[in-house]
């Protein structure tokens, strides 16, 4: 009886060793996409009132966990019964990410000047604050869904030669690490200024901790602007990577170019085409409505 128990424990220990090794390999292979995920989500989690940042981030985190709970079992099942569907889903997700990145670029270069008075702007912002939060949370969760699909697929691809149990545990572990790690870092970033103010107050605005606190406060706006740019570039790069790695005719396009340049170029072109088409459609539709009135 005792020997049987020890044999089971030995099997469990061996399984955990295999899972730990597989998770390490899968995490290393998804490191790039995790970095892009961090940049994109940090950019999407900023731009709110200070007291709303953490509640909104928590809402996005819960949405991310739900995404993983949906994606992991579906990906495992599709990988067994209908693997071609994974490629189709990835390409559709790539189109969405490319649209998001292209839309941000078009919005930046073609934004219209606002002539509203400060009072009117304040009133409008107050009226639309809740809707703005909901829209941005929805957009962040949708983007997280696409990035999560990519993370899960890459981690699953790294353990396809392993037994089913190792695949399940490894992919699940990577999904949890991705959510906790990414959104934990995002929370630290968005609360940098709060930590800085506390250091300034604690040090009575004197000495090293005061300098550190002021540095954190001043660094946050710069980091947010950088993350806004990096997040947009990451969207296009991830989208381009999806297209290049899953569409054969793009995989062999300009093979002499560095992979990062080729993937970003493809993502940029597709993003601008999709976002530009939507913008043109909205413009034509708006003009048609005006003529009809």
For the chain, what is the total number of helices (H) and then of strands (E)? 10, 0
pTM of the model: 0.70
37 in Cβ contact with 151 (< 8 Å): yes
**Residue range 115-127: average pLDDT?**
50
Q: What is the pLDDT of residue 117?
A: 47
Q: Which two tokens stand for residue 276?
A: 């530009």
Look at residue 271 in the predicted model and tell me its pLDDT.
92
Does 39 score more than 80 pLDDT? Answer: no
pLDDT in tens, 51-66: 777 788 888 889 889 9
Q: Could you tell me the CA-to-CA distances from 122 to 45, 117, 125, 127, 132 in Å, in that order? A: 21, 9, 5, 9, 14
Domain boundaries of the chain, sorted by first residue: 2-292
- Per-residue confidence at 2, pLDDT binned at 50, 70, 90? very low
Each residue's pLDDT tens digit, 208-266: 888 888 888 888 788 878 877 887 888 888 888 888 888 888 877 787 888 888 989 99
Taking the alpha carbons at both ends of the chain, their separation in whole angstroms is 86
């Amino acid at each position: 009886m005792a020997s049987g128990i020890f044999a089971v424990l030995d099997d469990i220990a061996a399984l955990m060793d295999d899972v730990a090794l597989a998770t390490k390999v899968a995490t290393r292979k998804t490191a790039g996409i995790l970095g892009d995920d961090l940049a994109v989500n940090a950019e999407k989690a900023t731009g709110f009132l200070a007291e709303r940042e953490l509640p909104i981030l928590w809402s996005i985190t819960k949405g991310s966990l739900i995404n993983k709970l949906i994606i992991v079992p579906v990906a495992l099942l599709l990988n067994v019964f209908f693997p071609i569907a994974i490629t189709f889903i990835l390409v559709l997700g790539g189109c969405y990410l490319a649209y998001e990145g292209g839309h941000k670029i078009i919005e930046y270069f073609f934004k219209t000047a606002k002539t509203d008075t400060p009072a009117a702007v304040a009133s409008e912002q107050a009226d639309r604050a809740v809707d703005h939060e909901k829209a941005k949370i929805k957009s962040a969760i949708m983007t997280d869904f696409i990035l999560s699909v990519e993370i899960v697929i890459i981690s699953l691809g790294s353990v396809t030669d392993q037994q089913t149990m190792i695949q399940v545990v490894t992919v699940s572990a990577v999904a949890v690490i991705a959510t906790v790690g990414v959104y934990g870092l995002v929370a630290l970033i968005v609360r940098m200024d709060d930590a800085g103010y506390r250091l300034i107050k604690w040090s009575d605005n004197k000495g090293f901790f005061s300098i550190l606190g002021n540095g954190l406060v001043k660094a946050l706006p710069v980091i947010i602007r950088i993350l806004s740019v990096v997040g947009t570039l990451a969207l296009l790069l991830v989208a381009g990577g999806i297209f290049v790695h899953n569409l054969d005719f793009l995989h062999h396009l300009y093979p002499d170019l560095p992979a990062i340049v080729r993937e970003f170029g493809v993502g940029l072109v597709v993003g601008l085409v999709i976002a530009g088409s939507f913008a043109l459609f909205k413009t034509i539709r708006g003009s048609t409505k005006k003529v009809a009135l």
